């Protein structure tokens, strides 16, 4: 990674679900400087100007990361504005998801074949490893997941909770375009392989679907990066 410099590219990388670009952001509630807003698409800069506190830096960093990820795939990006539910509006031919944590904003992007009419969506989430907060487990895990975690040696429990939490946030982002509602943490059950793959069972309370869900986790420069791809399954 490059040394921390606000709104500069921290690194670019690739995962099985897409290329990832990461941009440093200030971990403080301060406005993005005018020269940073000028690097955004004018429509994004106008939207950023309406944001306050941490949100302006996060929004701007996410857009710079999105542009960098799209460039890695050989494309250029129009404005990436939020839809009514806060999701980044989908650029044509591209799957895109944005996340920020602390001093880093990331965007994951992958190409889709516009000629194939099966819809597919992508969600990504970035998390810091620590400090451990095992108390979140009952709020974010289903009983069968809790039992799995409690069966692990104590030293492995926090990472097992955190990965499931983050994968569920990725699932939320990938699922949102289909269900357009709040999906609770107890509406998905996740089990983990040791190689980065995750197995997901959806328990959607409104009965939507069925969906294919492909989820995974990767270490990303000392942080955790998870992602999910979702597409409708044929009944």
Ligand X SMILES: CC(C)(COP(=O)(O)OP(=O)(O)OC[C@H]1O[C@@H](n2cnc3c(N)ncnc32)[C@H](O)[C@@H]1OP(=O)(O)O)[C@@H](O)C(=O)NCCC(=O)NCCS
Residue 162 corresponds to which tokens in the numbers above? Answer: 């955190």
Q: HSE of 73 in the Cβ direction (CA atoms, 13 Å)?
A: 25
Contact between 188 and ligand X by CB under 6 A: the answer reads yes
d(CA 171, CA 200): 9
136/141 Cα distance (integer angstroms): 8
Query: Is residue 142 at the binding interface for ligand X, with CB under 6 A as the rule?
Result: no
Query: Does residue 24 bind ligand X (CB under 6 A)?
Result: no
Q: In whole angstroms, what is the distance from residue 6 CA to residue 26 CA?
A: 6
Size of the chain in residues: 235
**Which position among 173, 189, 192, 227 is part of the footprint of ligand X (CB under 6 A)?**
173
Binding range to ligand X, per CB under 6 A, among 4-12, 18-26, 31-39, 170-178: 170-178
To ligand X, the closest distance from the beta carbon of 79 in angstroms equals 12
Distance of CA 183 to the CA centre of its chain: 15
Query: Binders of ligand X among 75-94, rule CB under 6 A?
Result: 82, 85-88
- In the complex with ligand X, the residue whose CB is nearer, 158 or 185, is 185
CB of 155 to ligand X, least distance (A): 25
Q: What phi and psi, each to the nearest 5 degrees, are found at residue 84?
A: -60, -20
Q: Compose the 91-130 pattern: x for residues touching ligand X by CB under 6 A, - for all others.
A: -------xxx------------------------x-----
Burial of 151: CB neighbours in 10 Å, binned 0-12, 13-18, 19+: exposed
Report the distance separating Cα 212 and Cα 202, nearest Å.
9
Nearer to ligand X, 50 or 115 (CB): 50
Distance CA 176, CA 114 (A): 20
Residue closer to ligand X, measured from CB, 115 or 125: 125
Could you give the string, one character per residue 41-80, with x where binding to ligand X holds by CB under 6 A and - elsewhere? -----------------xx--x------------------
Total of chain residues touching ligand X, rule CB under 6 A: 23
Residues in contact with ligand X by CB under 6 A are 58-59, 62, 82, 85-88, 98-100, 125, 168-169, 171-173, 176, 183-185, 187-188
């Amino acid at each position: 990674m490059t040394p921390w410099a606000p709104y500069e590219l921290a690194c670019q990388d690739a995962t099985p679900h897409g290329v990832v670009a990461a941009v440093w952001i200030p971990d403080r509630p301060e406005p993005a400087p005018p020269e940073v807003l000028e690097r955004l698409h004018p429509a994004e800069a106008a939207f950023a100007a309406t944001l306050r506190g941490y949100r302006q830096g996060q929004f701007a960093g996410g857009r710079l990361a999105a542009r960098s990820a799209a460039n890695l795939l050989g494309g250029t990006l129009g404005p990436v504005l939020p839809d009514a539910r806060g999701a980044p509006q989908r650029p044509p031919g591209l799957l895109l998801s944005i996340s920020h944590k602390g001093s880093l904003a990331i965007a994951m992007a992958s190409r889709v074949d516009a000629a194939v009419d099966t819809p597919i969506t992508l969600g990504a989430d970035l998390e810091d490893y620590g400090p451990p907060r095992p108390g979140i487990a009952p709020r974010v895990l289903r009983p069968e997941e809790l039992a799995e975690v409690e069966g692990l040696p104590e030293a492995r429990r926090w990472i097992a909770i955190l990965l499931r939490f983050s994968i569920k946030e990725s699932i939320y982002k990938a699922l949102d375009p289909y269900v357009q509602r709040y999906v609770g943490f107890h509406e998905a059950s996740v089990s983990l392989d040791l190689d980065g793959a995750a197995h997901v069972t959806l328990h959607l309370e409104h009965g939507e679907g069925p969906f294919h869900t492909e989820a995974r986790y990767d270490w990303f420069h000392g942080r955790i990066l998870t992602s999910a791809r979702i597409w409708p399954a044929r009944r």
